[in-house]
C-alpha cells in the first residue's frame, strides 16, 4: 500500500494534530501521537519508500530514542549493522587516525538504510486507525483563534488544534517566510550512492572518512556486503569539478578502502547542506527535525535530532505545553549535538591541526570528551503518556461516531 491509500475517503477536515512532512521526524511524531490515541493527519507529497540522500549512520543517541519508542526491535535492528568508531584518512598524512572502541563495548552507532528505517515506521503508522496518511503538499499555513489551518494542493483546507512542522529545511522558509534562519557554516553539497559487493578482507567495523581537498567521502557499511557512499563537498572547491569526476573519485576511494563493487545504484544529489537554525520558532507550531535545525552531516546527528525533537514535541503536546516551552526544552539536546558537530567539523572539514594531534595521541581522551557531552543529552523518556486503554477507547469512539459513517 502506498502513502495516501490508507483509510481512503477519511481525509476529513479536522484533526487534533496535523503534521507537515512524513520523513523520519514527521512519521515518528505521527506514530507516537497515533499510539497516544490522537487523531492525526500526516501530509507529504512524496511516495514512500524512497531513497533519501543520507549517510545512513545512526548514532547510539538515535538508537536509544528508537528503543524507548518501541521501534528498534524487529525489522530495524535486524537490518542495522554496528560500527565501533571512525577511521579518518587525510591525504596530507600517511597513516589514518583510528578513533575506535573495542567490539566488546557498545557500538558507536549503526549503518541502517533509510528505506528500512522510514518504511518500517510508516508501516507501524498504517496500523493505527486514527492516523490518516495524505499524499499531498501543503502550500499555506494560517492561524485563527485556537486553530491552525493548512491549505493543501489536493484536499483543500484542513484545520487542527496543533500543528507540527516536519517539512525539512528547504520548505520551511516557503511556508513561513517571516521566520529568519541563522546560518552557521558555509554551503556544502551532499550526494549519496549505494553499492553491493564484497570486501577484499573482513568487513570494517568503522565508518571510514576520506578527507580530500574538495570535501569528505564517507563509507558507511550497511551490512556484510553493502555500503553507503556519501559525499560532503565544499561548494566553492567543487564548482570546477564535474559531478562525474567527483563520482569517479568516490569509486576510486571505495576500491582503495578494499570494497569490490558488483552493483552500484544511481547517484542521488542533495542540495545545500550547510547547518542552519531558526532564530526563534513560531509561537503556534512545533517545528521538528531539519525544519528547526540542521547540522552539517559530518556529525551524523541529523537522524538522532529528528527522533529527539519529534519525541519532545509529542511529549509537549500530550502534556499541554506550548511551542515556546518545547523550543526551550529542545535546546538542551540541540546544544549537545551542536558541540559534537563542531568537533567533527573542526577535525574533518577545517582540519584543525591541534585537534588532530590530540586525537592521534590520545584517542581515549577524545572518546571521554564525546561521552561527557553525550551524558548531557536528555535521556529518552519512557512514553508513559501512551496508555493503552485510552488509545482503545479513543479509537472506538472515533470509528463509531456518525461523522465517520458519513465519511466512508
Ligand atoms: C548528504 C546527507 C548525508 C546525511 N548523512 C546523515 C547521517 O549519516 N546520519 C544522520 O543522522 N543524518 C544524516 N543526514 C541528515 C538527515 O538525513 C536529516 O537530518 C533527516 O533526514 C531529517 O529528517 P526530517 O524528517 O526532519 O526532514 P527531511 O528528511 O528533510 O524530510 C522532510 C519531508 O517534508 C516533506 N515536505 C516538504 N515540503 C512539504 C510541504 N510543503 N508539504 C508537505 N510535505 C512537505 C518532504 O517531502 C520530506 O519528505 C544527512 C543529510 C544529507 C543531506
Q: Which atom of ligand 1 is nearest to the CA of 174?
A: 41
Mean pLDDT per block of 10 residues along the chain (408 residues) reads: 42 84 97 94 92 92 95 96 94 82 86 96 95 95 92 92 93 84 72 96 95 94 96 76 88 96 85 69 87 91 97 94 93 95 90 85 84 92 56 56 44
Instruction: Kindly state whether residue 110 falls inside one of the protein's structural domains.
Output: yes
Structural domain harbouring 89: 14-185+274-380+389-397
Atom 37 of ligand 1, residue of closest alpha carbon:
167
What the block records as the C-alpha cell of 329 is 526544552
Instruction: Kindly state whether residue 179 falls inside one of the protein's structural domains.
Output: yes
CB 109 within 8 A of CB 12: no
Measure 327 CA to ligand 1 centroid, in angstroms. Answer: 20
What is residue 184's predicted lDDT score, i.e. its pLDDT? 61
Q: Which residues line ligand 1 (CB under 6 A)?
A: 20-26, 43-46, 53-57, 137-138, 166-168, 171, 190, 192, 230, 270, 273, 289-291, 294, 297, 300-304, 306
What is residue 375's predicted lDDT score, i.e. its pLDDT? 93
Q: Which atom of ligand 1 is nearest to the CA of 59?
A: 11
Measure 144 CA to ligand 1 centroid, in angstroms. Answer: 29
Measure 307 CA to ligand 1 centroid, in angstroms. Answer: 12
Measure 88 CA to ligand 1 centroid, in angstroms. Answer: 25
What is residue 360's predicted lDDT score, i.e. its pLDDT? 81
CB 52 within 8 A of CB 175: no
Residue showing cell 557500538: 107
What is residue 398's predicted lDDT score, i.e. its pLDDT? 55
Measure 70 CA to ligand 1 centroid, in angstroms. Answer: 22
Q: Which of 41, 45, 297, 377 to mutate to test the pocket of ligand 1 (most atoms within 8 A of CB)?
A: 297
Instruction: Kindly state whether residue 166 falls inside one of the protein's structural domains.
Output: yes
Instruction: Kindly state whether residue 261 falls inside one of the protein's structural domains.
Output: no
- 130: domain CATH number is 3.50.50.60
Of 114, 48, 110, residue with least CA distance to 85: 110
What is residue 391's predicted lDDT score, i.e. its pLDDT? 54
Q: Which atom of ligand 1 is nearest to the CA of 138?
A: 42
Atom 30 of ligand 1, residue of closest alpha carbon:
168
Q: Which of 22, 139, 303 to mutate to test the pocket of ligand 1 (most atoms within 8 A of CB)?
A: 303
Measure 19 CA to ligand 1 centroid, in angstroms. Answer: 14
Instruction: Kindly state whether residue 408 falls inside one of the protein's structural domains.
Output: no
Instruction: Kindly state whether residue 242 falls inside one of the protein's structural domains.
Output: no
Helical ranges in 17-150 per DSSP H: 24-35, 60-68, 75-79, 114-126
Instruction: Kindly state whether residue 109 falls inside one of the protein's structural domains.
Output: yes
107 vs 74, 244, 269, CA distance in Å? 18, 35, 29
Q: How many domains does the chain have?
A: 1
Its pTM surpasses 0.85: yes
Establish how many alpha carbons lie within 13 A of residue 173's alpha carbon, considering only the half-sphere containing its beta carbon: 10
Measure 54 CA to ligand 1 centroid, in angstroms. Answer: 8
Q: Which of 290, 334, 348 to mutate to test the pocket of ligand 1 (most atoms within 8 A of CB)?
A: 290
Measure 165 CA to ligand 1 centroid, in angstroms. Answer: 12
Measure 168 CA to ligand 1 centroid, in angstroms. Answer: 5
Atom 39 of ligand 1, residue of closest alpha carbon:
167
Atom 27 of ligand 1, residue of closest alpha carbon:
168
Atom 8 of ligand 1, residue of closest alpha carbon:
55
Residue showing cell 496543533: 162
Instruction: Kindly state whether residue 41 falls inside one of the protein's structural domains.
Output: yes
Measure 383 CA to ligand 1 centroid, in angstroms. Answer: 24
Distance between terminal CA atoms of the chain?
A: 19
Atom 50 of ligand 1, residue of closest alpha carbon:
54
Atom 29 of ligand 1, residue of closest alpha carbon:
23
Atom 26 of ligand 1, residue of closest alpha carbon:
289
Vertex 334 angle, CA 331 and 337, to 5°: 155
What is the distance between the alpha carbons of residues 31 and 314, in angstroms, rounded to a whole number? 10
Amino acid at each position: 500500500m502506498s502513502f495516501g491509500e490508507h483509510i481512503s475517503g477519511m481525509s476529513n477536515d479536522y484533526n487534533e494534530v496535523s503534521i507537515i512532512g512524513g520523513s523520519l521526524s514527521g512519521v515518528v511524531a505521527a506514530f507516537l501521537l497515533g499510539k497516544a490515541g490522537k487523531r492525526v493527519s500526516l501530509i507529504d507529497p512524496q511516495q514512500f519508500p524512497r531513497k533519501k540522500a543520507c549517510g545512513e549512520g545512526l548514532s547510539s543517541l538515535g538508537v536509544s530514542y528508537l528503543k524507548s519508542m518501541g521501534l528498534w526491535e524487529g525489522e530495524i535492528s535486524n537490518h542495522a549493522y554496528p560500527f565501533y568508531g571512525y577511521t579518518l584518512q587525510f591525504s596530507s598524512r600517511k597513516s589514518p587516525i583510528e578513533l575506535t572502541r573495542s567490539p566488546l563495548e557498545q557500538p558507536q552507532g549503526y549503518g541502517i538504510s533509510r528505506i528500512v528505517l522510514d518504511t518500517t515506521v510508516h508501516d507501524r503508522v498504517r496500523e493505527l486507525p486514527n492516523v490518516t496518511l495524505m499524499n499531498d503538499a501543503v502550500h499555506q499555513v494560517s492561524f485563527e483563534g485556537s486553530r491552525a489551518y493548512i491549505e493543501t494542493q489536493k484536499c483543500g483546507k484542513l484545520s487542527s488544534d496543533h500543528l507540527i512542522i516536519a517539512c525539512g529545511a528547504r520548505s520551511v522558509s516557503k511556508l513561513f517566510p517571516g521566520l529568519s534562519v541563522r546560518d552557521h557554516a558555509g554551503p556544502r553539497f551532499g550526494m549519496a550512492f549505494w553499492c553491493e559487493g564484497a570486501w577484499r578482507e573482513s568487513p570494517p567495523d568503522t565508518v571510514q572518512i576520506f578527507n580530500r581537498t574538495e570535501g569528505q567521502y564517507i563509507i558507511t557499511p550497511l551490512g556484510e556486503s553493502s555500503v553507503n557512499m556519501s559525499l560532503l563537498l565544499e561548494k566553492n572547491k567543487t564548482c570546477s569539478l564535474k559531478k562525474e569526476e567527483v563520482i569517479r573519485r568516490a569509486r576510486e576511494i571505495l576500491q582503495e578502502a578494499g570494497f569490490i563493487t558488483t552493483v552500484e545504484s544511481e547517484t542521488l544529489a542533495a542540495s545545500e547542506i550547510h547547518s542552519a537554525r531558526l532564530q526563534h520558532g513560531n509561537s503556534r507550531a512545533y517545528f521538528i527535525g531539519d525544519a528547526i535545525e540542521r547540522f552539517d552531516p559530518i556529525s551524523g546527528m541529523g537522524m538522532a535530532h529528528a527522533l529527539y525533537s519529534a519525541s519532545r514535541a509529542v511529549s509537549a503536546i500530550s502534556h499541554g505545553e506550548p511551542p515556546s516551552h518545547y523550543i526551550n526544552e529542545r535546546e538542551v539536546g540541540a546544544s549537545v549535538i551542536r558541540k559534537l558537530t563542531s568537533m567533527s567539523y573542526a577535525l574533518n572539514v577545517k582540519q584543525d591541526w591541534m585537534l588532530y594531534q590530540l586525537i592521534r595521541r590520545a584517542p581515549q581522551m577524545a572518546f571521554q570528551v564525546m561521552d561527557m557531552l553525550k551524558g548531557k543529552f536528555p535521556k529518552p523518556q519512557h512514553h508513559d503518556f501512551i496508555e493503552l486503554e485510552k488509545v482503545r477507547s479513543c479509537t472506538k469512539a472515533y470509528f463509531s461516531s456518525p461523522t465517520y459513517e458519513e465519511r466512508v
